[in-house]
Structure formats: structure tokens, C-alpha cells
Structure 1
Amino acid sequence: MGFFSFKQNLILSLTIFFSLFTKSLASQISVYQVLNDYDFPSGILPKGVENYDLDVSTGEFAAYFSGSCSFSLEDSYQLYYEPAIRGHISKGRLQSLKGVSVKLFWFWVNIVEVRRAGNDLEFSVGFAGAGFPVDNFEESPQCGCGLNCNFGVSSF
């Protein structure tokens, strides 16, 4: 007679299978759905995120692109995303953000926090901030051309 009985082996095998199966399902959720789950619109990230990491116990979050990503919005805001962005996510709040910058006048400054306040998103660069309606972020911009992409031709 073996160390484990047939019943114990079956229970152990099923436990391992379901553990792997649920991890597989969790990895199939898009980063944009994760944002929605934390009460953010998907458009705060541009299209093209290749992979992401999320530790639900600590809120540590990272999103990965194939390279850097930049674009203009409304002909006034230039944004730059590094190949990896990181931060801590909780319901309605992204903090300790690293890897996202906005050009203010002649200087690039890091966006360090994004907070949802009702129907607005508030972006902080540490010493200043600005709020925008959540509706402005329903669509994800594309690297190179933002929201004004004409059949793949970049306007940036």
C-alpha cells in the first residue's frame, strides 16, 4: 500500500488542477478590465499593454509595453509612458506612480498619483494637479497619435 491512498491522490490532484486553472483564468483578464475593477476607466492606459503584474494583497501594480509610448491629447498635453509603469492601486486610487510623465510648458514632470473623485479623475504631479471628467478617458489612446489616429498614420 502506497503512502497516499487513491482518494488522497485524487483530492491532491484536483486541488492542484483547480489552483492552476484559476490562476490561468486570472491571467486572462486584461489590464483594462483590472482598471475597471478598481473604478478607473480603461483610457488612462494607452492601447498596447503587453503584460501586467498585480499583487492583490499589496496593490503593487505594473504594466508593460514593448517600448516607450508618447502621444498628444487635445493638442495641449503631451504624455510619455516608459516601457514599464509601476505603482500601487486601490479602489479609485493609483499612487506612487512611476513611468508616466506629462509635459508642462517646457518641462517633463512625473504623474505621481491618479485619484477618482466622483465623476472626475484628479492627476497629481506632486506640486500641482488637474482634474478631468472620467468620460474623457473612455477610449484608450494609441501610442504615437493619441485619439486622433487617421488609419494608422501618426500625427505626432
Structure 2
Amino acid sequence: MSLTACLIVSAFLLLTPPPPAFSSAIGDEAVTAYDMLGHYHFPKGLLPEGVIDYELDQSTGKFRARLNGSCGFSLEGSYQLNYKSTISGYISRDKLTRLKGVKVKVLLFWFDIVEVLRYGDDIEFSVGIASASFPLENFFVCPRCGCGLNCDDSLSPIRKLRLKSPFSVSSM
């Protein structure tokens, strides 16, 4: 390649803006992490309230969402969840994989949630060798740090849904 061609290619690469990330503003409205979940066919309630920002590499699906600190809550009659201040992984339609930063307590033990899959009207959470499925409608509302879905205020009945489905051993 000639020096002129190299300079043209270099100038093109320097002047061409990077592909837009969904975390940037579209029109007058900023796209939120909750909007992005919807774009990939997930309900917004997979994330607790209070995501302050996020990054997404559209070419790989790699993402990172940040909360204003760690976040924990119990789901009535079921599990305790704990989100670190940064949650990361890979997202594609109906799949969240290689997750980091989310744990669930089952009985006496804490397990990392490593994958979330959507199958029609169900969401399946995997901790590796075990998984649990819940109805999609349980995730239409974002839980709150500290009180989850059972906060002491006048919220809609949707927030009062219970997640009762034991983790089962998957056949991998």
C-alpha cells in the first residue's frame, strides 16, 4: 500500500465516529439500561431501581451496568439477591451470559447467577449446575434495594408478586 493510501485510510479511521452505543442519546432522549433490556427482549425488572449508567459494545454484546453501590433484598418467601455495584456480562436476544455481580442465596449458600435466558413467557436463572424458572410477569417492575418487591408504600399489586420456584438441577 502506498504512503498516500495509508494516509487516506488513517485519516478515514480517525475522522469516522465509532458506532453508536445504546448508552448514548437518541434524539432528545437518553436510552437507559432498562430500555436496553427491552431491546433484547427482557423485562426491565431484571435490574433493581437505581442503575446510574451502563456501557454496551453492540458488536460483542458485552455490557456493564453500574449501581450507586451494592444492592441487596429478599424476595418474599423465596430468595435473597445481592447485586454488586457493577454488573457485567454479555447480552443478546433472550440471553444474558457470563454474568458477574449478581448472587442468590438458596437455603444457606450464596451462588453466582451466571446466565439468564428467556423462554417465551418464562425467565430462567442459572447458577451453573442448577436453574430456576419464573413467569415473565414477575419482572415487569424493578425491585428496590433494601426492600425488593415488598416495599412499604402504595405500589401496584404487581410489586407484591412472589417468586416461588425452587432451583432444580439441570441436565447439562
User: TM range, normalised to the smaller chain?
Assistant: 0.7 to 0.9
Return the letter of the residue paired with 1:139.
V
**Percent identity of equivalent pairs:** 53
- Asked if the contact 2:79/2:104 (under 8 Å) is kept, the reply is yes
Q: Say which SS state the counterpart of residue 148 (structure 2) adopts.
A: coil
- Asked if the contact 2:25/2:31 (under 8 Å) is kept, the reply is no
What is the TM-score normalised by the length of structure 2? 0.73
2:77 to 66, 75, 78: 75
Deviation of 1:76 after TM superposition, in Å, equals 1.5
The 2-side partners of 1:80 and 1:114 are apart by 15
Q: Say which SS state the counterpart of residue 36 (structure 1) adopts.
A: helix
- Asked if the contact 2:95/2:116 (under 8 Å) is kept, the reply is yes
Per-residue CA deviations over 1:98-145 (Å, capped at 9, x if unaligned) read 000000111110000000001100100001000001011000000000
2:31 pairs with 1:29: yes
Q: How does 1:46-57 map to 2 (within 5 A)?
A: 46-57=48-59
2:137 pairs with 1:124: no
Deviation of 1:24 after TM superposition, in Å, equals 3.5
Deviation of 1:149 after TM superposition, in Å, equals 1.1
Q: Say which SS state the counterpart of residue 151 (structure 2) adopts.
A: coil
The 1-side partners of 2:32 and 2:87 are apart by 16
1:147 to 133, 149, 152: 149
The 1-side partners of 2:30 and 2:151 are apart by 28
Q: What RMSD in Å do the two structures reach over aligned CA positions?
A: 2.0
Higher share in helix = 1
Deviation of 1:31 after TM superposition, in Å, equals 0.6
The 2-side partners of 1:77 and 1:105 are apart by 8
Structure 1: runs of 5+ lacking an equivalent: 1-14
Task: Report the more deviating stretch, 53-62 or 143-152.
Answer: 143-152
Partner of 2:139: 137
- Asked if the contact 2:62/2:88 (under 8 Å) is kept, the reply is yes
2:112 pairs with 1:110: yes
Structure 2: runs of 5+ lacking an equivalent: 1-15, 155-172
